A and B are shown apart, each in its own frame.
Chain A
Amino acid sequence: MTRFLLKRLGLALVTLVLLSVIVFAVSSVLPGNVGRAVLGPFATQESVDALNEQLGTDRPVVTQYVDWAGRLLRGDLGTSLSKQVPAWDLLGPALVRSLKLAAIAFLICVPISILGGIVAGLRYGRPADKAITIAGLSLAAMPEFVSGIVLILVFSIWLRWLPVTAQWDEGAGFLTQVEHLVLPGLTLTLVLFGYIARITRAGMVEALDSDYARTAFLKGLPPSLVIRRHVLRNALLPTIAVVAVQIGYLVGGLVVVEVLFNYQGVGSLIYEAARQKDLPLLTAGVLVVGVTYLLVTLVADVLYALLNPRIRLAGAE
């Protein structure tokens, strides 16, 4: 178990370093001249040079990377060009808001998707299974702004049940916040439904087909008991891993949903930063998204190992 943890942690660290190299390469090397990229073709050469000096982008690439990575390690994500404040001052609160939205989406999505997967698995090969599978596949590839627009039309404009935007007024209570987050959460749910339902379904089919399930049926246990005690316990294990990976998506995939619902999370911050060519803030935002994803998948892998005795006990003998 300890070996598994150490190995998993090591892999995550290597991936993290590579992520920083890739993000750095794209944001600092790809533009060629960062100052020119930020200020545009009509800026004077002096102002471009001045900005390059201010950002330190006139130095050799390797020096820049080492310096940048060193500051990252000390928790300095850089300074936003457009707002002239430390990037983290903007990203921190935005991350909290994004996590709130992710949490709501998660609470709506997981029960519905798992239920869908269970139904599909029990009705394997029948019309209900086909319908759930095809709906899940299509929804997973449906752009969020398309399903979001349809949800806004139905629930906010025709039925008038829910607000159009996700942004609540200053000082709104908990329930009001939740009310604003239901529609964007539902939009994200539609995208995730297919993945989670498909894995649950596969787990169900495999568990139903197993010897222990057949034995349980044959010894005369009521079907509901077999499904609850024998099938579900084994079928839901792989689901946990997938669900966790999707939280990573929830934090990073929010750009379109946050823009559509006008919600001030990490996604819309990245969007704003890109619109204003605020490369330092954009780079910091992208890194925050990547690190969040890596952290969540790391926690998920560990959780999965803890729940799965086959991994938990491996190496114990």
Chain B
Amino acid sequence: MSAAESTAGAEARTARLERLRLLARSPTVVAGALIVLFWTVCALVPGLVAPHDPIFDNQFETNSRPTWEHPFGTDTNGRDILSRVLAGSRNVLTIAPAATLLGTVLGTLMGLVTGYFRGLVDDVAGRAIDAVMSLPLIVTAILIVTAIGTSGTWVVVVIIGLIFSPVVSRTVRAAVLAETELDYVQAARLRGERAPYIMFAEILPNVMSPVVVEFTVRLGYAIFTVASLTFIGFGVAPPSPDWAAQINQYYTFVDPYWWMTLFPALAIASLVVAVNLVADGIREAYER
């Protein structure tokens, strides 16, 4: 390894450390990260903080308003809503990150190819992306779920990943376009490197910032989409408690049983806000 390369590596490491330090110093990012961590722990270790079993402890008084014993009240089956809310993050926290990862990987690939080759590939892909993006996410998802006739964890992951990929590819493509003008890409071309090598070994490391930013921002929208699909009954129909499914089940009884929908709604809201606080911090740290 030459001296110049190791200096560049050291510089990249310093930049990474600097970004991490910036993130750790921002109170909003730390607050957001703590909330996300809390819901992740709840999803991974069910029953760690919940006072009752969310499914089987159904011996309580039904439809009870929030009391000292049941701070979030009980539902129509006599289950403790606090315990059900604490157990309700699992689906969303499985599907949303997996779908975002899939969408980011696919989108980055598409962005690299369309940005590097340009020409006809780029034009056709660009119009196709326009066409897909003229349909709202939820509508496309409903159409696909109905067409294949089934839904489930992996179906939802693939659908959301596929729909996200064009959006990610737009951002990556723009970054790749700027990079291909630079000397190092020209040099690699003149050296006779092949296109895949230039795309993945030369350009990709230099467009990682927008990719990371895009991932965190998309994660927020993935939560939005997973929750919305579950709410209208086209997502996963879980045996385990799920916030959106709880709201779907009880929103028609919101008057007078407001506590059955309010607390799951606040739980979703807390996760969405937390993810956005972190995403906003990461965007700021990378775009300096």
| Contact of B143 with A23 in the complex, beta carbons under 8 Å | yes
A95 on interface, CB distance cutoff 8 Å: no
Q: Point out the residues of chain A lying under 8 angstroms from B234, CB to CB.
A: 274
* B127 within 8 Å of A (CB atoms): yes
A145 touches B247 (CB 8 A): yes
Contact in complex: B128, A37 (CB < 8 Å): no
Is A213 at the interface (CB under 8 A from chain B)? no
Q: Which residue of B lies closest to A18 (CB)?
A: B131
- The CA of A312 and the CA of B231, in the complex, are separated in Å by 46
A contact residues around B142 at 8 Å (CB): 255, 270-271, 274, 282
Q: Which residues in window 229-252 of B have CB below 8 A to A?
A: 231-234, 244, 247, 251
Q: How far is the CA of A249 from the CA of B133 in the complex (A)?
A: 10
B135 contacts A286, CB within 8 Å? yes
Subset of 18 A-B contacts with CB under 8 Å: A26-B140, A27-B143, A37-B149, A133-B280, A138-B276, A142-B272, A150-B265, A150-B269, A157-B254, A255-B136, A255-B138, A259-B231, A270-B142, A274-B142, A274-B234, A279-B147, A282-B142, A289-B135
Most chain A Cβ neighbours within 10 Å, of B221, B255, B277? B255
Which residues of A come within 8 Å of B, CB atoms? 11, 14-16, 18-19, 21-23, 26-27, 30-31, 37, 133-134, 137-138, 141-147, 149-150, 152-153, 156-157, 164, 248-249, 252-253, 255-256, 259-260, 270-271, 274-275, 277, 279, 282-283, 286, 289-290, 293-294, 297
A143 and B143 contact, Cβ closer than 8 Å, known pairs A149-B247, A256-B228: no
**Interface contact tally, CB-CB below 8 A:** 158
Query: B228 and A143: CB pair below 8 A?
Result: yes
Q: Which of A27, A138, A146 has the most CB of B within 10 A?
A: A146
* Interface residue SS majority, chain B: helix
Please, how many angstroms separate the alpha-carbon atoms of A19 and B169 in the complex? 18
Are B139 and A286 in contact, CB atoms less than 8 angstroms apart? Answer: yes
From the candidates A14, A19, A282, name the one contacting B134 in the complex (CB within 8 A): A19
B103-144 with Cβ < 8 A to chain A: 127-128, 130-132, 134-136, 138-140, 142-144
Residues A18 and B130 in contact in the complex (CB < 8 Å), given A150-B265, A252-B135 = yes
A256 and B276 within 8 A (CB): no
Q: For the complex, what is the distance from the CA of A255 to the CA of B261, rounded to whole Å?
A: 19
B206 within 8 A of A: no
Give Cα A260–Cα B90 distance, bound, in whole angstroms: 24
B132 nearest CB across to chain A (Å): 6
Q: Is the CB of B127 within 8 A of A14?
A: yes
**B258, A157: Cβ atoms closer than 8 Å:** yes
Whether the pair B232, A153 counts as a contact (CB closer than 8 A) is no
A18-B128, A157-B258 are known contacts. Are A146 and B135 too (CB-CB below 8 A)? Answer: no
Q: Which residue of B lies closest to A253 (CB)?
A: B136
Give complex CA distance A248, B130 in Å: 13
Q: Please give the distance in Å from B7's CB to the nearest CB on chain A.
A: 34
A158 CB to nearest chain B CB (Å): 8
Measured CA separation A31–B130 after assembly (Å): 24
**Inter-chain contacts of A252 with B (CB < 8 A):** 135-136, 139
**Is A290 within 8 A of B134, CB to CB?**
yes
Does residue B10 face the partner (Cβ distance < 8 Å to A)?
no
User: B85 at interface (Cβ–Cβ under 8 A)?
Assistant: no
A134 and B227: CB pair below 8 A?
A: no
Closest to B273 in A: A138
Are B224 and A143 in contact, with the CB atoms below 8 A? yes
Contacting B143 at CB < 8 Å: which of A145, A253, A282? A282
Q: Which 4 A-B pairs have the closest CB atoms?
A: A252-B136, A18-B131, A141-B220, A19-B131
Question: From residue B275, how far is it (CB to closest CB) to chain A in Å?
Answer: 7
Q: Kindly identify, within residues 269 to 284 of chain B, every residue whose CB is under 8 Å from any CB belonging to chain A.
A: 269, 272-273, 275-277, 279-280
Known: A23-B143, A274-B234, A277-B149. 17 other contacts (CB 8 A): A16-B131, A27-B147, A31-B147, A37-B148, A134-B28, A138-B272, A142-B272, A143-B223, A143-B224, A150-B269, A157-B258, A270-B142, A286-B135, A286-B140, A289-B139, A290-B135, A293-B136
